[in-house]
Structure 1
Amino acid sequence: MKKLFISILVLSLVACKKEPKKPAAGSTDSTAHIKTDTAANTHEVIANKEEVLKKTNDEILKTLKDKDYKKFAECIHPKKGIRFSMYAFVDPKNDKQFSKEAFEKYYPGKTLFTWGSHDGSGDPYKETIKNYLGKWVFSKDFTVSSYSLNKFQGGGNSLNNLQEIYPKHDFTENYIKGTEKYGEMDWKALRFVFEEFQGTYYLIAVVNDQWTI
């Protein structure tokens, strides 16, 4: 009887140490599967967004190069309009801003607008919409510039507060490096700030940047 009791006790201890049953072959962990799919979908969405913004950026540059301001107007946010900043510092109170309708109304005409003040002299810069876009915004051929998304390539001595004014918005930068002749200080950058509306990314701001005195 004593031997029988010891045998039963040993069998009980062995049974308690058995490993948990492994999943049957071919079964999957549903939680892990969901996480993997979510990560893949997120990556796909981000990649698609970057592609769309790059394409939109290039299309806007082309409208400016072609001076096709009617098509440029189609890129303006239909509800929030567009703001133009002469330099890196965005001044919501003083920078020139247009609704989409106002831009479409005035760009063909000869009405002069004050866009800001020249750095150094402080003289007000007055121009028509067409001349401002042609002479100031697209002062160089930015279709052959260096592109970046949500990253600054150029920086000078003027305050750049774009991310403070537009903390939750995507922006693109088109950067042209300065020349050796001027110690590379004649660099220029053109930035576009976007906001999504009904599935489309629209322009809400155009910001120029360059070395200032």
Structure 2
Amino acid sequence: MKKLIYTMLITLLASCTKEKPNSQPAQNNSADVPVTGSLKSVREQTKENILKNLNSEIISYLKSNDYTRFSQFIHPHKGIRFSMYAYVQPEKDKHFSREDFNRYISMPTKFTWGEKDGTGDLLVVSLQNYLQQWVFKRDFTQAQFYLNEFKGKGNSLNNLLKIYPNADFTENYIPGSEKYSGMDWNSLRFVFEEFQGKYYLVALINDEWTV
């Protein structure tokens, strides 16, 4: 009997000397979790930042005539299409693979890009002259930036969403002046498609008021 009582005392003392559990509440990591906005909105915000940065880079390379770096943004498989106006014409607009772009950019070879609105005159110039005289006809580094939104709206048809239904596009918009009742606006749009986790150019589209 004494042995049993002794054993019970030993057990009771051992349980009393055990370390007490931590009574402090678990650390609140809610600061690391976005308070507002869904996961989709976070992804959209990330994509917007990526495309905005790409847009700025491309604009800067066009302004500085750095076509070697510009060509790195051309889609490696689909190449790039150039449209003089908002209405994209896949059967007529000039299209270049990345390799062809790099081949012709420093050559005097002339291409027929399309008809000028109002006169119907054909625009026949080299690839480099087209980029300098038509694509970058205004200083688009000073333009307003828009993502997947058309700011420049004229009286010409705009079929970008039909031709590129799954693409994202940026718009660089320069508003018109009071002198011409705002009709001398210009837009330069970059159409992007994702490939292997990166965004590449598949089209450059100029837009302006047409008659």
When the two structures are superposed, what TM-score results if normalisation uses the length of structure 1? 0.81
Describe the SS at the equivalent of 2:179: helix
2:173 aligned partner, one-letter code: Y
User: 2:83 matched to 1:106?
Assistant: no
Whole-Å separation in 1 of the counterparts to 2:40 and 2:115 = 44
What CA distance in whole angstroms lies between the structure 2 residues aligned with 1:137 and 1:182?
21
Following superposition, the deviation at residue 44 of structure 1 comes to 2.2
Q: Point out the structure with the larger helix share.
A: 1
Flag structure 1 segments of 5+ consecutive residues without an equivalent: 1-25, 27-35
Q: Counterpart of 1:16?
A: none
Equivalent residue pairs, number: 178
4+ aligned runs moved over 4 Å, structure 1: none
Q: Which residue of 2 aligns with 1:177?
A: 175
Which one of the candidate residues 193, 201, 204 is aligned to 1:203?
201
* Aligned match of 1:59: 57
AA matched with 2:58? I
Separation in structure 2 between the aligned mates of residue 153 and residue 57 of structure 1, nearest angstrom: 16
Q: Which residue of 2 aligns with 1:145?
A: 143
Distance 2:165 2:140 in 1: 25
Aligned to 2:15: none
SS where residue 173 of structure 1 aligns? strand
Q: Choose 118-127 or 132-141, whichever is displaced more.
A: 118-127
The residue that corresponds to 2:191 in the other structure is 193
Amino acid at match of 1:181: K
Q: TM-score, normalised by structure 2?
A: 0.81
Alignment partner of 1:120 out of 98, 118, 121: 118
Tell me which amino acid in the other structure corresponds to 1:98: F
* Correspondences of 1:31-50 after superposition (within 5 Å): 40-50=38-48
Equivalent pairs: percent with the same residue?
55
Q: Which residue of 1 aligns with 2:128?
A: 130
State the AA in 1 paired with 2:76. Answer: P
- What residue in structure 1 maps to residue 16 of structure 2? none
**Match in the other structure for 1:70:** 68
SS at match of 1:53: helix
Q: Supply the AA of the counterpart residue of 1:57.
A: N
